[in-house]
Structure 1
Amino acid sequence: MTTQEAKKIRIADYLQSLGYIPAKQQGKSLWYKSPFREETEASFKVNTELNQWYDFGTGKGGNIISLAQELYGSDYVPYLLGKIAEQAPHVRPVSFSFRQQASEPSFQHLEVGELTHPALLRYLQERGINTALAQAECKELHFVHNGKPYFAIGFPNVAGGYEVRNRFFKGCIAPKDISHIQQSGELREKCLVFEGMTDYLSFLTLRMKNCPTMPNLDGQDYVILNSVSNVTKAIDVLHGYERIHCLLDNDEAGRKAYWELAGEFAGHIRDFSQNYNGYKDLNDYLCGKRQNLTVNPPLRTIVKPKKKGLGL
């Protein structure tokens, strides 16, 4: 995808594909609750005529490239174009009307149940993920999106929303937020941080493969960002942990997210992405999909991997 091709995508349609819907409409402007933070009043505006956005909370705005820069925490244009291209198959033209949007939300008739559909389990298996582990962590969602019925894997977050995945669809059911998985009512000493649900499920699969005879492997809590734009929300939750281990992506957005966390938790945080250096993320490491990364390797604390597992 080129820059010009990306700029032809309507920002409102792109936000819709990610699960963000406007709270109100004023003429040519659509107002959203900002995708960059939690808020009660909509302060994020999209001008549908100019195809430009502006966030009054940060004073930033621009085109779809600058939006992706904020969403994915990177200013490396080839990386941003790749992220937009990944989402492009899920972008559908939407005729927004505040009256219509108020009465007909993006995701309708949501039904939440146990994860059992063979197609969804097969999708997980193709990603190398243990389906029994995924069934314990995820739900099966059935819903209507833009007038069409869908079913997908749903990964719950702390605000009551879901990350939504199947072979053909990637998005979220708002509100978008982090996921915080605690093993007990009190915070454990250690917390592991992942970028997305697939990375988290890949970690659980790898851990089970490397330690199949250990009766109790849940010695720590987990935070899943569900987007690098949620780092600020994660910071609030991570206060109180003595040790924070990050297993983020080996790309510019992952490095930026790590350094943002490291600036807050210096002395308590370690980076474990070097343990799968040469792979974009934990799922690629699980599947053996080594990549030639287009950015330089991160200059972070290097943790020497053990012969098996991730050295945790």
Structure 2
Amino acid sequence: MNCEKIKERVSIRAVLESFNFFPVKENQKTAFYFALDREEKTPSFSVDFVKNKAFDFGTGKSYDVISIVQQMNQCSAFDALKYLEKFDFSIQKNDRIEESDRSKNYSIIKLSEIQHPALIQYLKSRKVYEQKDLVQEIEYILNGKKYFGIGFFNNSEGVEIRNKNSKICLGKKDVTLIENERNKNREIVVFEGFFDYLTYRNIEKIENFNSDYLILNSTAMLFKVDEILKKYDKISLFLDNDANGKTTKEIIQKKYKNVEDCSLLYLGFKDLNEWFCTKK
């Protein structure tokens, strides 16, 4: 089969999944992924499932399935074609697994302490390795393929999974509430993602661990927090300095009393972890 046929008939989604890349945002025809060649906070890699092509808004570079393999494996087009031989050529370029099916089509193989060198290095790069006991190493099968990552469970037993190349949730999306029996002052600290929570725990001394913690896991989960937040006398917000974070902050400030906006600590940075990573 020639190169053009391969570009048309091998699913770009399947190729990206083979490198443990999954959509951050998607609809029926398109999706945004994190970039192939760098770590970023906002996904800039746009994939068109109908055309079976991708475009990196950060670099201005276009991709097909062959050039994706070349980028990831740092190989020639010939070696990329050999890599693509393992894929099902009968897959149509606009095939798509519905999100409801995707959430069911997985199984967790193993949960353990963080041991994989790649995950250890990733935690160190984010300056939260000291908090490795607050997360787990997770091995799982998704759509017939085996993957691994850093796992953080939510209140509905869904699990947020992160590694250098992927950011997904297996199971039901929900918030994570961490309650502390030493919390006598009815205080709660709110974060968007669990890396900011790990960062905060890394900054705070252990004797100061006397609040409850709420990790939204997505600002879209804000509708779930009313019954939680109204129980507290003080709410401290460590939300992102982007449009979603600012909107979420304003909603909470209007609805509840004694809300402290702590984002001034990392003004000029997207979030708490990004700011902390610049410190020596």
Which category describes the TM-score, using the shorter chain as reference length? Answer: 0.5 to 0.7
- Given that 1:235 and 1:261 are in contact with CA atoms closer than 8 Å, whether structure 2 keeps it comes out as no
- Structural mapping, 1:241-256, within 5 Å: 241-256=232-247
Query: Over aligned residue pairs, what C-alpha RMSD do you find?
Result: 3.6
Change (3 A) 1:239 1:260: same
Q: 1:108: which partner in 2?
A: 107
The equivalent of 1:158 in structure 2 is 155
Residues paired across the two proteins, number: 211
Structure 1 residue ranges, 4+ long, deviating more than 3 angstroms after superposition: 16-20, 86-89, 92-98, 185-188
- Partner residue of 2:177? 180
Q: Given the superposition, is the C-alpha separation of residues 188 and 138 from structure 1 closer, same or farther in structure 2, using an over 3 Å criterion?
A: farther
Query: Which ranges of structure 1 fall in alignment gaps of 5 or more residues?
Result: 1-8, 21-34, 36-45, 52-62, 66-81, 209-214, 290-312
Match of 2:131, as an amino acid? L
Residue 200 (structure 2) aligned to one of 185, 198, 203: 203
TM-score by length of 1: 0.58
Corresponding residue for residue 260 of structure 2:
270
Change in 2 beyond 3 A, CA 1:195/1:87 = farther
The question of whether the paired residues in 2 share the 8 Å contact of 1:19 and 1:173 is answered with no
CA shift for structure 1 position 19: 8.7
CA offsets 1:121-165 (integer angstroms, 9 cap, x no match): 111001111x23222x11111011232211100011011011100
Corresponding residue for 1:190?
187
% of aligned pairs identical?
A: 29
Q: Mark the CA change 1:282 to 1:191 in structure 2 (over 3 Å): closer, same or farther.
A: same
Q: Per-residue deviation at 1:186? A: 7.6
For the residues of structure 2 that align with 1:159 and 1:275, how far apart are their CA atoms?
A: 31
Deviation at 1:166, TM superposition (A): 0.7
TM-score of the superposed pair, with normalisation by structure 2: 0.65
Q: In 2, distance between residues paired with 1:153 and 1:87?
A: 25
Of residues 197, 210, 214, the one that matches 1:219 is 210
Larger-gyration structure (1/2)? 2
Residues 231 and 261, structure 1, Cα contact 8 Å, conserved in 2: no
User: Which residue of 140, 143, 163 corresponds with 1:146?
Assistant: 143
1:85 pairs, out of 22, 33, 44, with: 44
Q: Residue type of the partner of 2:150? A: I
Alignment of 1:89-100 (within 5 A): 95-96=95-96
C-alpha displacement at 1:84, in angstroms?
A: 4.2
Question: How far did residue 259 of structure 1 move?
Answer: 0.8
Q: For residue 225 of structure 2, give the secondary structure of its aligned residue in structure 1.
A: helix
Distance in 2, Cα, partners of 1:94 & 1:122 = 36
One of 272, 283, 289 as aligned partner of 2:273: 283
Deviation track 1:66-120 (CA, whole Å, cap 9, x = no partner) reads xxxxxxxxxxxxxxxx84426869xx9784478x949x93323442222222221
